[in-house]
Amino acid sequence: MKIVALAGGVGGAKLAHGLAQILPPEDLTVIVNTGDDFEHLGMYICPDLDTVCYTLAGLANPETGWGRVNETWNTIANIEKLGGPAWFRLGDQDIATHLERTRRMKEGQSLSQTTKDFCGAWGIKQTVLPMSDSPVRTIVDTDEGELAFQEYFVHRHCEPRVKGFRFDGVQVAESAIGAREAIDSAQAIVICPSNPWVSVDPILRVIKKINKPVVAVSPIIGGQTVKGPAAKMYSELGIEPSALAVAEHYGNLLNGFVLDNVDKNLSDKIEARTLVTNTLMNNFSDRARLATDVLNFIRSL
Ligand code: FO1
């Protein structure tokens, strides 16, 4: 069964990894948010793309979900000593990824080709695509003014109250080569449990048209997010954070919606068909179990 998964960072990467454990590699394409990308310390950094790739390759840091396992921090420690910016924690192994990506892109290689080459080097057999080869930049409108995404997310610890979002460059950005074809040949699209506002919306804005059944997995469980500021964002935007709010966010794009057992009372209020299951992914087998549930749900639609 050919599946396209839409993913942001850590939560999205976990379900993508679950799907990768179940599906033949040629049947899974992961389209990843690049709205979080930024240039920092002279390097081109793609946090969500790297999180998905490191996770699929078994190279991800299990504590943070982002960055590399068995990481060392000599470079960033020395940058800090010299008075440089150290708020964005880049590990030594991770820096190699950003340096080599930057070198290639300065020579004119596209982000999708760089990603393809890196996936080959890391032994990833599934297809991983950035949502676009053109820059799209998520800008968070807050009570302290507009902030670039990583400035808001990491530097300011998501503290400013959000008022809205915009995605610079999205009007002219085309989806990456292969993304349209993957969607056209997929049986279904899975929206991973990523932040609807800042991880999934940018991908949906770039992709524009989806002519396949769409199933989303709620990143909000019992009114809270496992990781990240999605619930805080809903509250600050005047919407009670819940799995129902996520389902309503995607609206009639959805054919199916997966929510956690603790939210089963919300199921009746959701317009799409629902699957109520355990959506927490604490370990590798949880990821495979949720992926199996999602795939069986898709078959039943
Ligand atoms: N997230 C943090 O909260 N603090 C960091 O210092 C940080 C560094 C970092 C380095 C490389 C990378 O690929 C991701 C990193 N992240 C960090 C995560 C990242 O900022 C976010 O998870 C995503 O942008 C949101 O999906």
Confidence of residue 199 (pLDDT cuts 50, 70, 90): very high
The pLDDT value recorded for residue 95 is 98
Pairing of strands 137-142, 162-168: antiparallel
Q: Can you tell me the distance from the alpha carbon of 51 to that of 226, in angstroms, rounded to the nearest whole number?
A: 16
The pLDDT tens digits of the residues spanning 242-259 come to: 999 999 999 999 999 999
The residue-averaged pLDDT of 15-34 equals 98
Q: Can you tell me the distance from the alpha carbon of 37 to that of 254, in angstroms, rounded to the nearest whole number?
A: 27
Name, in order, each residue with C-beta under 8 angstroms of 53's C-beta and a sequence gap of 6 or more: 59, 115, 118, 119, 122, 124, 128
Confidence of residue 8 (pLDDT cuts 50, 70, 90): very high
* DSSP category for residue 112: H
The pLDDT tens digits of the residues spanning 141-198 come to: 999 999 999 999 999 999 999 999 999 999 999 999 999 999 999 999 999 999 999 9
The pLDDT value recorded for residue 7 is 98
Nearest to 19 by CA among 32, 4, 36, 35: 4
The pLDDT value recorded for residue 198 is 98
Ligand 1 pocket, CB under 6 A: 8-10, 36, 47-48, 50-51, 66-67, 88-90, 94, 150, 153-154, 199
Over the chain, what is the mean pLDDT? Answer: 98
Beta bridge partners, 45, equal: 38
The residue-averaged pLDDT of 42-70 equals 98
Q: Which atom of ligand 1 is nearest the CA belonging to 87?
A: 6
CA of residue 66 to ligand 1 center, whole Å: 6
Q: Can you tell me the distance from the alpha carbon of 258 to that of 45, in angstroms, rounded to the nearest whole number?
A: 31
Q: Can you tell me the distance from the alpha carbon of 188 to that of 220, in angstroms, rounded to the nearest whole number?
A: 22
* DSSP category for residue 3: E
Nearest to 5 by CA among 65, 56, 64: 56
* DSSP category for residue 267: G
| Every domain of the chain and the residues it spans | 3-139+170-300
Q: Which residues of 211-223 are buried (b: 16+ CB within 10 A; e: fewer)?
A: eebbbbbbbbbee
Measured in whole angstroms, the distance separating CA 169 from the mean position of its chain's CA atoms is 18
Task: Tell which one of 154, 158, 197 to mutate to probe ligand 1, the residue whose CB is within 8 A of the most ligand atoms.
Answer: 154
Half-sphere exposure of 121 (CA within 13 A, CB side): 11
The pLDDT tens digits of the residues spanning 108-152 come to: 999 999 999 999 999 999 999 999 999 999 999 999 999 999 999
Largest CA distance in the chain: 58
- Kindly write down the DSSP assignment for every residue of 21-45, as one continuous string: HHS-GGGEEEEE--TT-EEETTEEE
Q: Which CATH class is domain 3-139+170-300?
A: alpha beta
CA of residue 154 to ligand 1 center, whole Å: 7
What's phi and psi for 169, nearest 5 deg? Answer: 95, -5
Q: Can you tell me the distance from the alpha carbon of 131 to that of 128, in angstroms, rounded to the nearest whole number?
A: 9
Ligand 1, atom 19, residue with closest C-alpha: 47
